Amino acid sequence: MTRRDLDHGLELGNRSVDILARVQSTRAKDYVREFNEALAPWRREPAVREFVHRTRAELGVVAQQNERDLAQPRRAGPALTRVAVESPPPRSVGAPECPLLHRS
């Protein structure tokens, strides 16, 4: 994954946190949790640490992995790939646009 993809994924993730801070949705928070887990290979990047901290502080989202699991290198999960490269489907009328909720 390129730096540009990571930056774009984090941009969409931050937009999602902005929206989800005003909405109570367990499913949406699960998507954010999956996204955080997909960021594990880049956990040392300052922008990733800041995003994960923000999701914990504002949404109460904590990744399911423990520190030992995070030490294992792994490829980007499908959540990060989808967010970084797919365009969102048409938006429902009256529904807030949340980039992490656009799943196939």
* Full DSSP string of 12-24: HHHHHHHHHTT--
Determine the Cα–Cα distance for residues 22 and 34; give it in Å rounded to an integer: 20
Find all residues with CB under 8 Å of 74, minimum gap 6, and list them. 40, 41
* Below-70 pLDDT ranges, the chain: 1, 63-104
Residue count of the chain, please give it.
104
Q: What is the largest CA-CA distance in the chain?
A: 43
pLDDT at 64: 63
pLDDT at 6: 93
Determine the Cα–Cα distance for residues 91 and 30; give it in Å rounded to an integer: 20
pLDDT at 4: 83
